[in-house]
Structure 1
Amino acid sequence: MASPAQQLPPGWVAEWNAEHQRYLFIETATGHSQWEPPAPPVDQQAHSAPSHHSKRRQYAAGQTQAYYGSMEDQSQAQYATTSPPQLQQGGAAGSGQLFTPGLAGPGQFASQQSSYDSGGYQQQPPIDQQQSGYGGVNALADQFSTMGMGGQKQFQLYTANLLTSPPDHRELVRPPPEIRLPPNSCISPSPLANAHWSYQRSTLNAIPTTSSLLNKAKIPLALILTPYRTLKADSTAPLPQPSEGSDTVSGEDPPVPLVTDTVIARCRRCRTYINPYVQFVDGGNRWRCCMCNMTNEVPQMFDWDQTTNSPGDRWARAELNHAVVEFVAPTEYMVRPPQPAVYVFLVDVSHAAVQSGMLATATRTILENLDRIPDTGDEGRTKVAIIGFDTSLYFFSITPGSTDSSMLVMSDTEDVFLPKPTDLLLNLAENRAGIEALLGRIPDMFADNGIVGSALGPALQAGFKLMSPIGGKIVVLSSSLPSVGAGALKNREDPKILGTSKESGLLQAASPFYKTFAIECSRAQVSVDMFLFSAGYQDVASLACLPHYTSGQTYYYPAFNASRTEDAIKFAHEFGEVLAMPIMLEAVMRVRASRGLRMASFHGNFFVRSTDLLAMPAVPQDQSYAIEVQIEETITASFVVFQTAVLHTTCFGERRIRVVTQALPTTSNLSEVFASADQVALATLLANKAVERSLTHKLEDARDAVFNKLVDILSTYKASMTAGGAGASAQLAIAENLKMLPALVLGLLKNVGIRQSAQIPPDIRAYSQALLTSLPSQLLIPYIYPTFYSLHNMPNDAGTVGPQGVILPPALPLTSERFERHGLYLIEDGQTIFLWVGRDAVPQLIMDVFDLPSYEVLRGGKTTLPTLPNPFSQRINSIIQKTREMRRGPYYPHLYIVKEDGEAPLRLWALSLLIQDRADVLPSYHQFVSSLKEKVNGNGGGY
């Protein structure tokens, strides 16, 4: 067991975890936690933090120290126990912009503030040691249950009072409740024998044995899947879970092992792939399935090492030691030979696309990323085609081995056909010079194009005809609303219905063409990615149907103008990352589960081909799926197994099967159900269900459904897990591992995707909903619960490089009460970054960060920070770069400067991310929790 007395790197603290009887090491800047001690700090001279001989700028030191304490004490988050200076002074002019009615006044959250001031996580006493409001019968039941489980470690339930436990951002990056399997359930001692939560996580890490117990808990049972996540080697990569009896885990992000000998052992009855949770019987000649208990023959070549042509070690096989493994599929897994990767670019060449600079930026980005498009080098199989469109279609043909190209124009878009049978779909390696020359000429060819309109539907039909015999990916780059031919749309944006019950109609597809076409694409193994640019209405809701049903992705760039460097950089980065992404083609996914469990409903970007088979023509990395699970019969086993299998073709032409196996214990104890709940997985599921309900009902129904589900969970916990039972209580109890769930639900209710407002354009709302249903948990959680940093008084090591990369400042509570008028703050949600500048910021800070003489000459809006020759500027830029790079996915957030007295729309946009504040008709966190308490006690209405 590591001792916390050892020297820790800057920004790390050690906390004793009473539940696991070991130290947990936490990075205070990000909340990242691990069991393994972090690497010790290197020699002090190697750090970029200022030494005692160097000067360090301090801004408004008197005010800063009065509110936060000494600057040298900022190595860990400090939270004030008094009101901000402007409140104490009676409210200066303009303070109403920052402090909204209904927020906590002086002393109102004193207990919450003291909780922050104490630093770190405050371990709550076990339920039987808490105040009289908790414990009692359930504590005794837990003790009796523990005595009868044959040594299996039980979940210990701890209770938090939401009225005295303010949200703590660090809770969201802590590991989910530990998976406590019974002894001897796994045949491998490997710490990787159970799926890491970044691949697959369950809303419950202890599965109820009966549907009645699950229904009583009111917590939905679901899996959150990200079968193809990117691998990262930095500190933001999630760590493997420790195995039983292990005190540490590795800090690496291990690659998925590949089984190449084509020996695939599967159950004859349920078709489960052999995994670490099977049992070998009959002298090792047979194995018993962990799902249906069927005994199967071990394949003859299972114990033979084909690389050395000698007997192999069975226990070293990857599929018996790793929960996530990939098999090279033999021919019986192929309907046809593996197809090459095909990319068809449908590029808008209309007047709007030329004027905005989209056409030039898109062709330049494709040209610069040709080397990054997945291919097999000298054996290149990848094929590409380019089709331009305005109100006509433009096909480009290149003669093999030549740089000359010809353009074929199709003005009649009513009956689309291919004007040439060959030389439209080109081998990338063989025609590289011709493709490069064409991409360089296209912007000049349409530079004077004055045609307004879009034949996107016919262009889609042409691209489909071109690639349907093979399959692949259609990449659409569109700058205007489709107006000609199939799929033509009308501008249905109506400000009068925004915020009303009719608004949900704007979030549904206006034309059946797009869903019908998407299903045709799915059958032909064609996926569609949409890159949408528009200064006006684009009907994102209709166009996003294509990626939704073909497992693609939607990207939206409102008011795009390539003359703004920031717009061009964002699009070029994201488009380039998509082009370089190693996609998985011709994929089908199925999730199997132990007897008594059934996959009930599915959420995400795919098409459900049969009751449980999901068709995905191309699987992008870091896309998430949610699958709800139903308990059909009583489960008698001590643990259950979920196994996700994805059969696919790599972009390099190899047929493979990725298998993700997760084992979870079962329980008949309600307290264990609550103690094992994963609040991050729950929030991810609720986001998916809220979006789905808003499309089939009303936005108000979606919000009410999310709120009522939270009330149900809290009511059940109060009635079953506290001594107060059904009577009124002065507290609001919830399991310690779920205490951030109300904050996440509030963040979801305030998210643009489902927020109550009459000011949100339908395109913005539709794009937000596309994000809510596709982002993996690592990106979804900050999207609904942003991050807030103070920069002007950040710790000395913040922004410098530590053993785990750039050190971030401590995260602040999401409330404008933290603002100081002389301060500089960063607010980000993974999609947008705001730099909030207080009106009394000293000139030296403005000069050091923005290279301007004073606050008055600083302009708000979208910007790129200069990198200046001073340490503070370099640290600020490092923090912004770290914020952009630390999460998975292709997204590149814009940076906006927000002045405290600047433009109202931009200021309100930034303030909307501070979800603990009241905004319009939406409550503050304190008001929200109070309404939850009233609702749980049987009083009051909604939030």
Structure 2
Amino acid sequence: MNNGYPQYQPNYGFQQQGLHNQTPYGSSQYSYSPQPPVPQQQGYPSQQQNHQQVKQLPQHQGFAPQQQTHVPQQPAYVPQQQVKQVPQGYIPQQSSVPQVPNFQQPQVQHQNSVPQVPNHQQQNSVPQVPNFQQPQVQQQNSVPQVPNFQQGRVPQQQNSVPQVPNFQPGRVPQPGNHVQHQSPHSQNNSYQYADPRNTQNGTQLPPSVCNSQLPNNPEIFRCTVAAIPETPNLVKECRLPLGITLHPFRDQKNLHVIKATIVRCRYCRAYINPYVYLPDSRHWRCNICYRSNEEQYADPTTRPEIQHNTVEFIATSDYMLRPPQPACYFFVLDVSKAAVESGYLHIFAEQFLISLDLLPGGDQTLVGFMCVDAVLHWFQFLEGEDKPRHMISQDVDDPFVPVHGGIVVKLKVFRKAIESFVQSLPGLFEDGSAEDSNCLGSALQIAFSLINEVGGRVTVMQARLPNIGAGALKVRENKDNKTQNFGPATDFYKRLALESVGKQVSYDLFAFGKSASIDLATLAEMSKVSGGTVHHFPNFHAVRNIPQVKRFEKLFNRYLTRKIGFEAVLRIRCSRGVSLHTFYASERSMNGGDLADSREGVINAAVDAFTSYNKMHRLQSGWVYSHEAMQLKHFTKYILGLLKHRTFAASPSVTITTDEQVAMMLFFRSAPIEAITLEIYPSLYPVHELTPGNKDLPSRLPLSYEAVGQGGMYLLDTGNFVYLYVTVRTNHQLIEHCFGVNGFGNIDEELTIQQRDNPYSEALFTVIRSLQSARAGYFAPVVTIREDSHRRHLFTTRLIEDRTEKSHSLIEFYHHIQREFSK
């Protein structure tokens, strides 16, 4: 069970999100999204996304063309189809790309998620993957002009794409730096990045499928390549990763729920879907095994599964191993001295009370609370009493439950007592008597024993290293060699999680880090193994770190109120010619050697891709700088962004702790693809060029300080944060409209920018809301940075196309790749 950002499960074909969600009334729901025969690539594989490499079985030689595909109509292979591939996230390329004929696109079914116990809630999250289709660019950079707000702005230069190695910085085609050129396929397409806001689905399905007008949802299902090689040799020769990123429980609105009989293929058990074949009105042929099935209930074309590519069923008892269990939420709260001083209890209490009416589970929902410092604090709710009884257990080495009931209770029955308790919670431990120790491991053992009969979710709030009782840890932060601490110090938390999985219990960790380490690499094991998630808030303080407070508020509120599913089993079926090779989950830990190997591996991926492309097309020297290499250039940009990210840097800065590095590694495995790609390659926008009333985003700029004018104001979207960078010469009137102060020197970075009643502030917040809406619910706070600020480096270090003391510029990285594959 995954109670954080849903784990992304790669697969091919059409997506089946099957029978996953449990309701307290004994009904089960599942959603499934069948996929068009030709998966579209967009984006980049993510962190706790579960990726799968696809192993190709021997068939015919050839590599799938990007424009059209012809295959036999017989059921032994994919029926004849013409597939027009349009890159998702880019405007289609105008120039023609060399094609190699004789391609077969095997169909593979997405996933069939069949739960053991149903639940009415549904998980969400998002992966997008950069599409390496060749983009289109225009000749000149057009920038909307705003009167009286352009003082000091450096005019944008016209950019062209050179065809020779003599390449100058700043002349790489960028969003907003448009270069026109002719193409037989298009006449007015402009260059765009693989941005979720710009995605299009241009797949043309073969007319032989039942619903050829229903496209795939790229927000749920993405392939890393635009066409599938037919043989293992071609997979090796192209040197590109072949896999699928799947986001099975992304937030779905207006989801079609079906209470009718569930129709499946009697041979391979695939579900009927829009992409099956209908030889007549009484039969349908499976698009996975190609065998014919009889429709016993009605005309297949009238079924909702044919008309929608994502549906949910109310499951029957045939899909359950036991009757539906009530939704159970148990909270383990750190109340040690460090936790109380951080002030997180105030935010927890506020957001819990706000979200109480929206907590999934219905009338049968169960809740329980336990607080932890040097002892265990129990809270027993009894009928007729308006507040719980507070009990303390000092035996942390051999913990036990002191009472037989009242610890985990029904929310509906004890609603008033629970509200009163949560309101008073921050004040219970603010008298200065809080202990500076923590026995988290002992608390988790008790929490598991309390809810293992029904299963459920344990929410852990932790601000200190657990140093006593079961699972006690010691400080092991080593500033000279941080990578040696990327693995767990003990297997206690992993063993606990493995035992919990069998009882349908998962753990979600909210870690509030300060200067001292809490050994996140060890504590995160309980979440990774049990299907939970980890949220890290470094340097958290309820008063002094407002951005982290905003993050906690938004993420915790979403965590409490979003739909979830318990006790699910994911099943994946593949069509002929394709098999699953490797499954990438989130359990694997990383050490220093793995980090170095990862850096070398991603560099080799770029070199191998360029080498393979050059070998197949035998291009002239210097082609790496030409327009022909545009798709691979974008691949290279993301690799450079990954290498420069502080999580994977060869020599991480002393300002980043081991906990922060581990947290970012976990982020790359579980966060939505939209947020991950922005962390790797941020987006930069000149917001001083906004025109009031215009809701379009401004032109996206290259990630180079050369693009930052002396009189501008810029938004840098980095995935976890949105930085608002204000230069010294920014127009005073614009500053007054946006910040409500007179002049640059009066801007207070510690205050969160608020929308004001004027057209320029409204235009700015329209852009901010647009950026936030493209994250699949993942909130990123806005942080103001002045040009003369001590935290200016947060902005400048994310301009990855510039050279630094320890890393290449983008052009130098191209030179490096050119030298490597030319050897």
Sort the TM-score into its range (normalised by shorter chain): 0.7 to 0.9
Q: d(CA) in 1 for partners of 2:175 and 2:715?
A: 24
1:597 aligned to which of 575, 578, 585:
578
Partner of 1:593, secondary structure, is coil
1:205-354 equivalences under 5 Å are: 205-231=226-252, 255-261=254-260, 263-280=261-278, 285-298=282-295, 300=296, 302-303=297-298, 313-354=299-340
Q: Which runs of 5+ in 1 are unaligned?
A: 1-13, 21-31, 34-48, 51-55, 69-78, 84-104, 127-155, 232-253, 304-312, 608-691, 939-943
Asked whether the equivalents of residues 95 and 183 of structure 2 are also in contact (C-alpha less than 8 Å), the reply is no
| Residue in 1 that maps onto 2:106 | none
- More displaced, 837-846 or 771-780? 837-846
Amino acid corresponding to residue 386 of structure 1 in structure 2: F
1:472 matches 2:456: yes
Asked whether the equivalents of residues 827 and 835 of structure 1 are also in contact (C-alpha less than 8 Å), the reply is yes
1:394 matches 2:396: no
Change (3 A) 1:537 1:780: same
Change (3 A) 1:877 1:206: closer
Q: d(CA) in 2 for partners of 1:423 and 1:578?
A: 25
Query: How many Å apart are 1:469 and its aligned residue?
Result: 0.7
Q: d(CA) in 2 for partners of 1:867 and 1:530?
A: 33
| Residue in 1 that maps onto 2:214 | 191
Query: How many Å apart are 1:286 and its aligned residue?
Result: 4.8
Q: d(CA) in 1 for partners of 2:176 and 2:418?
A: 59
Asked whether the equivalents of residues 783 and 829 of structure 1 are also in contact (C-alpha less than 8 Å), the reply is yes
Partner of 2:701, secondary structure, is coil
Higher normalized contact order (CA 8 Å, seq sep 6+, divided by chain length): 2
Change (3 A) 1:420 1:911: same
Asked whether the equivalents of residues 743 and 925 of structure 1 are also in contact (C-alpha less than 8 Å), the reply is yes
For these two proteins, the number of residue pairs brought into alignment is 680
Amino acid corresponding to residue 395 of structure 1 in structure 2: W
Q: d(CA) in 1 for partners of 2:308 and 2:356?
A: 35
Q: d(CA) in 1 for partners of 2:174 and 2:193?
A: 16
| Residue in 2 that maps onto 1:795 | 690
Query: How many Å apart are 1:886 and its aligned residue?
Result: 3.7
1:27-66 equivalences under 5 Å are: 58-59=148-149, 61=151, 63-64=152-153
| Residue in 2 that maps onto 1:420 | 403
Q: d(CA) in 1 for partners of 2:735 and 2:207?
A: 61
Amino acid corresponding to residue 210 of structure 2 in structure 1: I
Partner of 2:572, secondary structure, is strand
Asked whether the equivalents of residues 332 and 458 of structure 2 are also in contact (C-alpha less than 8 Å), the reply is yes
Asked whether the equivalents of residues 266 and 272 of structure 1 are also in contact (C-alpha less than 8 Å), the reply is yes
- More displaced, 339-348 or 540-549? 540-549
Query: How many Å apart are 1:738 and its aligned residue?
Result: 4.6
Change (3 A) 1:177 1:879: closer
Asked whether the equivalents of residues 272 and 291 of structure 1 are also in contact (C-alpha less than 8 Å), the reply is yes
Asked whether the equivalents of residues 610 and 632 of structure 2 are also in contact (C-alpha less than 8 Å), the reply is no
RMSD after superposition: 3.4
Change (3 A) 1:114 1:513: closer
Partner of 1:207, secondary structure, is coil
Query: How many Å apart are 1:890 and its aligned residue?
Result: 3.7
| Residue in 2 that maps onto 1:458 | 442
Query: How many Å apart are 1:728 and its aligned residue?
Result: 7.4
Query: How many Å apart are 1:82 and its aligned residue?
Result: 9.1
Change (3 A) 1:874 1:731: closer
Change (3 A) 1:774 1:849: same
Q: Residue deviations 1:808-848, cap 9 Å, x none?
A: 32211111111222222111212112122223334444433
Q: d(CA) in 1 for partners of 2:302 and 2:629?
A: 40
1:545 matches 2:525: yes
Change (3 A) 1:442 1:173: closer
TM-score by length of 1: 0.67
- More displaced, 167-176 or 216-225? 167-176
Query: How many Å apart are 1:190 and its aligned residue?
Result: 3.8
| Residue in 2 that maps onto 1:234 | none
TM-score by length of 2: 0.76
Q: Residue deviations 1:771-815, cap 9 Å, x none?
A: 1111222222112111111122x1314xx4x6xxx4332211111
1:481 matches 2:465: yes
| Residue in 2 that maps onto 1:754 | 648
1:534 matches 2:513: yes
Quick one: percent identity of the two aligned structures? Answer: 29
Change (3 A) 1:747 1:172: farther
Q: d(CA) in 1 for partners of 2:331 and 2:704?
A: 44
Q: d(CA) in 1 for partners of 2:543 and 2:450?
A: 34
Change (3 A) 1:386 1:868: same
Query: How many Å apart are 1:109 and its aligned residue?
Result: 4.8
1:889 aligned to which of 763, 770, 777:
777
Amino acid corresponding to residue 782 of structure 2 in structure 1: L
2:811 aligned to which of 918, 926, 932:
926
Amino acid corresponding to residue 556 of structure 1 in structure 2: H
Amino acid corresponding to residue 918 of structure 1 in structure 2: R
Change (3 A) 1:182 1:386: same
2:426 aligned to which of 433, 443, 447:
443
Amino acid corresponding to residue 485 of structure 2 in structure 1: L
Q: d(CA) in 2 for partners of 1:602 and 1:734?
A: 33
Change (3 A) 1:177 1:205: farther
Q: Residue deviations 1:57-82, cap 9 Å, x none?
A: 62353x43xx33xxxxxxxxxx4249
Change (3 A) 1:210 1:696: farther
Query: How many Å apart are 1:603 and its aligned residue?
Result: 2.2
Q: d(CA) in 2 for partners of 1:210 and 1:423?
A: 62
| Residue in 2 that maps onto 1:138 | none
| Residue in 2 that maps onto 1:39 | none
Asked whether the equivalents of residues 289 and 575 of structure 2 are also in contact (C-alpha less than 8 Å), the reply is yes
Change (3 A) 1:732 1:521: farther
2:193 aligned to which of 140, 162, 169:
169
Query: How many Å apart are 1:323 and its aligned residue?
Result: 2.8
Partner of 2:356, secondary structure, is coil
Asked whether the equivalents of residues 519 and 550 of structure 1 are also in contact (C-alpha less than 8 Å), the reply is yes
1:840 aligned to which of 729, 732, 735:
729
Amino acid corresponding to residue 454 of structure 1 in structure 2: N
Query: How many Å apart are 1:756 and its aligned residue?
Result: 2.0
Q: d(CA) in 2 for partners of 1:201 and 1:781?
A: 14
Amino acid corresponding to residue 444 of structure 2 in structure 1: L
Q: d(CA) in 2 for partners of 1:459 and 1:15?
A: 54
Asked whether the equivalents of residues 716 and 795 of structure 2 are also in contact (C-alpha less than 8 Å), the reply is yes
1:200 aligned to which of 203, 210, 221:
221
Q: Which runs of 5+ in 2 are unaligned?
A: 1-89, 97-129, 132-143
Asked whether the equivalents of residues 393 and 409 of structure 1 are also in contact (C-alpha less than 8 Å), the reply is yes
Change (3 A) 1:118 1:772: closer
Query: How many Å apart are 1:887 and its aligned residue?
Result: 2.0
Asked whether the equivalents of residues 717 and 734 of structure 1 are also in contact (C-alpha less than 8 Å), the reply is no
The structure with the largest strand share of the pair is 1
Asked whether the equivalents of residues 190 and 321 of structure 1 are also in contact (C-alpha less than 8 Å), the reply is no
1:513-912 equivalences under 5 Å are: 513-535=492-514, 536-564=516-544, 565-605=546-586, 694-695=590-591, 697-724=593-620, 731=625, 736-759=630-653, 760-792=656-688, 794-797=689-692, 800=693, 806-860=695-749, 862-891=750-779, 893-903=780-790, 906-912=791-797
Q: Residue deviations 1:102-136, cap 9 Å, x none?
A: xxx999258646996546x756568xxxxxxxxxx
| Residue in 2 that maps onto 1:80 | 157
Q: Residue deviations 1:646-699, cap 9 Å, x none?
A: xxxxxxxxxxxxxxxxxxxxxxxxxxxxxxxxxxxxxxxxxxxxxx68448431
Q: d(CA) in 1 for partners of 2:529 and 2:564?
A: 16
Q: d(CA) in 2 for partners of 1:787 and 1:440?
A: 41
Query: How many Å apart are 1:178 and its aligned residue?
Result: 4.3
